[in-house]
Amino acid sequence: MTSENLVYLIALPLFSSALLMLLGRKADKWGHIFATLISASTFVIGAMEFFAMIDRPEASRAVTQKLFTWISVGTFNVDAGLLLDQLSIAFVLLITGVGTLIHVYSIAYMSHDKDRRRFFAYLNFFIAAMLLLVLGDSYLNLYVGWEGVGLASYLLIGFWNQKPEYATAAKKAFVANRVGDFGLSVAVMIAFANFGAVSFIGIEEKVGGASETALTAMGLMLLLAAVGKSAQFPLQAWLGDAMAGPTPVSALIHAATMVTAGVYLITRSNFIFDNAPTAQLAVVIVGTITLLFGAIIGMAKDDIKKALAASTMSQIGYMIMASGFGPAGYAFAIMHLLTHGFFKAGMFLGAGSVMHGMNDEVNMRRYGGLAKFMPITSITFGLGYLAIIGVPPFAGFYSKDKIIETAFNAGGLQGVLFGSAALLGAVITAFYMTRLMLMTFFGNKRWAQGSEPHESPFLMWAPMAVLAVGSVASGYLLYSGKAIVKWLAPVVDKNQHEHTEFLPPIVVTTLAVVAVIIGVSIAFIKYRGDLSESAPSEVSIFTRVIRRDLLQDDANEFLFMRPGQKLTQLLVKTDESVIDGAVRAVGSSALGSARGMRKLQTGYVRNYALLILIGALVALLAALAVTI
C-alpha cells in the first residue's frame, strides 16, 4: 500500500525548524508555541496512521511512499522512499508523543533562556531527523536520518556552548558517534557489494544467496553503528558528558529516542542478524557488558543526571542484549525500548524539575527531603522509579522480566550466563535507583544556602504526569495478550518461530522480583537516614574506580588519545622536516645560487668590458683551436 501522508511527518518539523532558524529573533515571541504545535501535529498524523494501520489486515499494514528517485546509476537505483510498518509506527508514536510532551515541558523549562527559539528549532530538527531515521526504507535513507540526529544531538548538547566544557562534551559525543557512523557506512557498502541493493526489502529478498561471512561482516558493522549511537561498550563514554545539554534534551534524545536508534537498527536488520549467529552473539555480549557497566557506574554517581545517564546506558544494554537473541528477543527489546521511553523520559523531566527548584543544583548530596516540597515531581518520579526497577505491575517489570526470561531461554551455559548477568543488572538497578530516590526526595535536608525548593509550573508537571501514567500502564498494555509480540511478528518474526523455555516463566519472574527486593534492601540499609553533604573520601579502590566511570575516559585516553596525539606529532614533525624541508631546500638553493651569480653584476662598465674582452678572446682561441 502507498500513502501520501508520510512525508508530512518529516516535512512539517523540518520546515518549522528552518523557519525558526531563518527568521531569527523575529520569531522569539511565538517560536516555541509554533514548534510545539508542529510537533503535536506530527503526533496527530502518526496516531491517524496508527489507527488506519490497525484497521487493515495484517498482511497489508505496511505503507510506503516514494518521494523521488535519489540515485540512478546503471542498474543501481535508490529511491528516497519512506516505509511505515508495525515497527516504525511504534517509533513514530514514541518520538512524536514523547517529543511533544517534552516540547511542552521545555516551554516552561527554557522560559528564562534568551535562546529558547533556537532551542525549539533544534528540537524540531531532531524530530524530523529521527522520523526520517525510522521511516527510511533503505539503509541509505536511514543513514541520512542517522547523521541528522547526530547533528541535532551535537547542537543540543552544546546548546550552552558558552561554557567550554559543554562544548567539549558536544564534541566528544560527535566524535564517538562518528566512529559508529563509520560502521554504518561500511555496512551500506557491504550491502551494496553483496546484494546490489540498499533497501530493506531488496536486501531481504537476496539475503538467502549471500555468504555467511558477508552477513557476519555486515552484522558486525551494523553493531558498531549501534554501539556508537546507543552508547554501548566500548563507545559508551560520551553519554555521561552528554548530560551537559539542557535536561529536556537529555530526556528526549539521550534517554527516550536517539540513543535507542541502535536497537532500532538491529531490529530492523533482523534479516541480516538472523542469518549471522556470530554477529548475534557479539550483539548479546556487547549488550551484557554494557548493562552491567552502566549499572555499576550508576552506583557511585552523585550527579543526578549522570546517574540517570548511566542507567540509560544500562537499560539500552538490556535492549541490545534482547535484540541479539533473534526473533525471540526483538519484540521484547522494542517493548523495553517503549516502556523505557516513558519512565526514563519521565525521570529525566523529574530531575529537570528538581534542578529547576534547586537553582540548577545537580549534586544529589545537596538534595534531600524534597518529597514534601515537590509532591508532584516526587510522585511522578517515584512511579518512574518503580517502573525502572521492575516492580510488578509497573511497565519496566513486564519488559525487563521478559528480557531476563529470553536470556535464560537462549539455553545452555550461555543462557545461564547471560540470564544471570541480566539478573545481576536488575539487582544493581534496584540499588542505584533506590539510592537516587532516597538521596533526592527523602532523608535530611542538605541544601545549598539560599535554596527554596518549590513545585514546578503546570506546563512542566503535566508532561511528567502523562509520562508517569505511561510508566505505570504501558507495560501491561503492551504485553496483555502478547500484543506487542503479535504486532511486530510480521516484521521481525516472519516464520513464527517456536520459542523454547529453559526455565518456567514463573520462576524467572520470582527471581527478578527477588533481585529487585535484594537491590532495594541494600540501598535502604546504606542510604536511609541522614547523609553528609559531601561524598565520603575514605573509600575502597573499587569505589574510586567506579567514581571515575570505571576508567572509561582513562582507557580512551591511554588507548586512543595519547597514541593519536603521538602520531599527530610525528606526522607534524615529518611534515615540517621532510616535506617543508624539501620545499625550503629548493627555495634556499635558488636563493644561494642567485646570491653567487649576483656578484657578477657589479654595475661597473669596465667589468662588463672586461667580460666582453675575455669572451672575445675565448671565442678567438676557440676559432684558432678549431683551425689548427
Closest approach, Cβ 24 to other proteins, in A, equals: 59
d(CA 296, CA 311): 9
Which residue lies nearer to other proteins by CB, 48 or 620? 620
Q: With H, G, I as helix, E, B as strand and everything else as coil, classify residue 454.
A: coil
Q: Segment contacting other proteins (CB under 8 A): 134-142, 200-208, 569-577, 605-613?
A: 605-613
Residues 257/262/268/274 CA torsion (nearest 10 deg):
-150
Asked if residues 150 and 174 have their Cβ atoms less than 8 Å apart, the reply is: yes
Closest approach, Cβ 167 to other proteins, in A, equals: 54
Residue 604 binds other proteins (CB under 8 A): yes
Closest approach, Cβ 578 to other proteins, in A, equals: 36
d(CA 505, CA 468): 27
Query: Would you tell me how many other CB atoms lie within 10 Å of the CB of residue 376?
Result: 18
Q: Which amino acid is at 347?
A: M
Q: Segment contacting other proteins (CB under 8 A): 81-89, 493-501, 565-573, 596-604?
A: 596-604
Interface residue with other proteins among 609, 618, 620, 622 (CB under 8 A) is 609
Closest approach, Cβ 601 to other proteins, in A, equals: 6
Interface residue with other proteins among 59, 541, 591, 605 (CB under 8 A) is 605
| 228 contacts: CB under 8 Å, gap ≥ 6 | 176, 177, 178, 179, 180, 181, 183, 235, 262
Interface residue with other proteins among 1, 585, 613, 619 (CB under 8 A) is 613
| 330 contacts: CB under 8 Å, gap ≥ 6 | 267, 270, 322, 323, 488, 492, 493
Residue 610 binds other proteins (CB under 8 A): yes
Report CA 329 to chain centroid distance, whole Å: 21
Closest approach, Cβ 587 to other proteins, in A, equals: 22
Closest approach, Cβ 588 to other proteins, in A, equals: 21
Q: Which amino acid is at 436?
A: L
Q: Per the omega criterion (within 30 degrees of 0), is the bond before 234 cis?
A: yes
Number of residues that bind other proteins (CB under 8 A): 9
Place of cell 669572451: 615
Closest approach, Cβ 606 to other proteins, in A, equals: 5
d(CA 479, CA 481): 6
Residue 601 binds other proteins (CB under 8 A): yes
Here's the x/- map for other proteins, 381-420, by CB under 8 A: it reads as ----------------------------------------
Residue 595 binds other proteins (CB under 8 A): no
The DSSP code sequence of 324-391 is TTTHHHHHHHHHHHHHHHHHHHHHHHHHHHHHHHTTT--BGGG----TTT-HHHHHHHHHHHHHHHT-
Q: Segment contacting other proteins (CB under 8 A): 194-202, 273-281, 415-423, 598-606?
A: 598-606
How far from 489 is each of 47, 102, 518, CA to CA, in Å? 20, 31, 35
Q: Segment contacting other proteins (CB under 8 A): 342-350, 360-368, 503-511, 604-612?
A: 604-612
Closest approach, Cβ 622 to other proteins, in A, equals: 19
Residue 603 binds other proteins (CB under 8 A): yes
Which residue lies nearer to other proteins by CB, 514 or 609? 609
Which residue lies nearer to other proteins by CB, 534 or 593? 593
| 572 contacts: CB under 8 Å, gap ≥ 6 | none
Q: Per the omega criterion (within 30 degrees of 0), is the bond before 13 cis?
A: no
Here's the x/- map for other proteins, 232-271, by CB under 8 A: it reads as ----------------------------------------
Residue 596 binds other proteins (CB under 8 A): no
Asked if residues 230 and 262 have their Cβ atoms less than 8 Å apart, the reply is: yes
Q: Segment contacting other proteins (CB under 8 A): 54-62, 488-496, 569-577, 597-605?
A: 597-605
Residue 627 binds other proteins (CB under 8 A): no
d(CA 603, CA 613): 17
Q: Segment contacting other proteins (CB under 8 A): 17-25, 126-134, 166-174, 608-616?
A: 608-616
Q: Segment contacting other proteins (CB under 8 A): 17-25, 174-182, 486-494, 607-615?
A: 607-615
Give the interface with other proteins as residue ranges (CB under 8 A).
Answer: 601-606, 609-610, 613
